[in-house]
Amino acid sequence: MELAGKSLEVLALLFVLLIGVCALLITAMFIVDRLQKEDAIRRNYPVIGRFRHLFTQLGEFFRQYFFAMDREELPFNRAQRDWIERASQGSSNTVAFGSTRNLGIVGTPIFVNAAFPPLEGQAAESEPLEIGPYARNPYLAPSIFNISGMSYGALSKPAVSALSRGAAEAGIWLNTGEGGVSPYHFEGGCDIVFQIGTAHYGVRNPDGTLSDERLRELGEHPQIKMFELKLAQGAKPGKGGILPAAKVTPEIAEIRGIPVGQASISPNRHASIDSWADLLDSIGHIREMTGKPVGIKTVVGHPEAIENLFQEIQQRGPESAPDFLTIDGGEGGTGAAPMPLIDLVGMSIREALPIVSAMRDMHGLKDRIRLIASAKLVNPSDVAWAIAAGADFVTSGRGFMFSLGCIQALKCNRNTCPTGITTHDRRLQQGLVPEEKYKKVARYAKGIIHEVEVIAHSLGVSDPRQIQRSQVRLVMADGSSKRMSEIYPNVVEENRDKIQE
């Protein structure tokens, strides 16, 4: 009994001490909140006001896991992410009971099924497609679906390594992004598209100009198949790339040719390119130095600008044209960009791609310039729509990030990515094991390609590239649908009339 009584006394004393410590802590927070001048809520409501910030931070978490419906969340909803997860795991992607998609939303594509689709034995896989017939070393691109530009620096070492190995396994290309090529891009032995950004990372002289010596060196590498001159990116047209200082490690600084530990912000455009004529000159120069196909990546702001490019090509001849044109939509992704640019600048891929495709075809350049579609195209229906709209290839960045395990934590710019994909914190990187993740990358790519082929067969064609605009209907505001071929040619013709005026 005496021992029990002493134990109770000790517990009571500890309880009193705990209350005292809590009281002191609350008093200290009360004083700090009342005296600080930055936050009006905390100043007017000391201590209690702190819960607002806590709930704001936790709100994103609770919405994602508990409250948002399968088709509600942005930028990618749960249904999209779940499909990618199942595909990357090699699990069945069949669903039951019925669609959860609202088919009444304006712009929703409805594919027109054939009365007598081809039998299993009559179906065929997409044939490789040549890019760059005027280059010394044209590229015979094997896959309709590939990995979009994501720089080493924005992505971690294990993420790039897994993407490289997965790309090789699936037989698709990997775009380096504007941060230059690292040893990890070559690791898997995959085909590589070297992207040249406005800062010329990886191909720059000390003064920041383009290095011919470096271009020739890279052009001789057997894995580098093409070069992409980046004019603009969907999430930040008119703004250069942004790599926070915390991510500029000594290794990344060496690869890019920049100072260590300083934020790396690219110019908003190429200083040496002031016109479409200058652009074609630059393309021709890079193609001559490397011997490889050269294209551009841009965002459509107004169709007249792209029309002017095609007119310049017509004046010079088809050999002067870019070998491919990557169209990124205003809904494209990034690791860091100002919100106004992410939200409001640049035409959506859903509008831009059909317009540019029709312009290219009207100028007789369909077999000369390959179109690559990018921006939020992560599921089979997205890819099939893009091919119907005129794309020869589709690339995705965030889709492959999801295959690596991305949970859409929206912390890409903070170096605190919990899945190790966009961080250089080694403690967080250890969660991403390339030897396992590359298999998911490959399965995701193969899953997309397979299901696009399934859609194509249901439309009555044996090859996805045979899908036509007339086989896709778009939902209108009144709930009815119209063929895509009825809508976008009219838009293009209207723009042509304005140009001719």
Same domain, 139 and 200: yes
pLDDT at 491: 44
Name which residue leads in pLDDT, 314 or 89: 314
Residue 97 lies in a domain: no
**What are 123-137's pLDDT values in tens digits?**
667 789 999 999 999
Question: What is the DSSP annotation of 376-414?
Answer: S--SHHHHHHHHHHT-SEEEESHHHHHHHT----S-TTT
**What are 237-279's pLDDT values in tens digits?**
777 777 778 778 888 888 888 888 888 778 888 888 999 999 9
Residue 248 lies in a domain: yes
Same domain, 151 and 267: yes
Same domain, 178 and 65: no
Same domain, 342 and 266: yes
Residue 492: pLDDT over 60: no
Question: Is 421:406 a contact under the CB 8 Å cutoff?
Answer: yes
What is the rounded distance in angstroms from the CA atom of residue 69 to the CA atom of residue 309?
43
Residue 94 lies in a domain: no
CB contact set of 472 (below 8 Å; sequence gap of 6+): 109, 110, 111, 112, 385, 388, 389, 483, 484
Instruction: Give the 3-state secondary structure of residue 342.
Output: helix
Same domain, 239 and 330: yes
**Residue found under tokens 């890079």:** 286
What is the rounded distance in angstroms from the CA atom of residue 177 to the CA atom of residue 185?
11
Residue 83 lies in a domain: no
pLDDT at 64: 61
Full residue range of the structural domain in which residue 307 is found = 120-500
Task: Region of 460 please: left (phi>0), alpha (psi -120 to 50) or beta.
Answer: left
**What are 286-302's pLDDT values in tens digits?**
999 999 999 999 999 98
The model's confidence at residue 501, banded by pLDDT at 50, 70 and 90, is very low
Residue 81 lies in a domain: no
Mean pLDDT value of segment 370-391: 94
The model's confidence at residue 498, banded by pLDDT at 50, 70 and 90, is very low
What is the rounded distance in angstroms from the CA atom of residue 50 to the CA atom of residue 458?
56
Mean pLDDT value of segment 35-40: 82
What is the rounded distance in angstroms from the CA atom of residue 238 to the CA atom of residue 457?
41
The model's confidence at residue 62, banded by pLDDT at 50, 70 and 90, is low
CB contact set of 274 (below 8 Å; sequence gap of 6+): none
Question: Is 354:385 a contact under the CB 8 Å cutoff?
Answer: no
What's the structural domain count of the chain? 2
Same domain, 48 and 137: no
Count of residues in the chain: 501
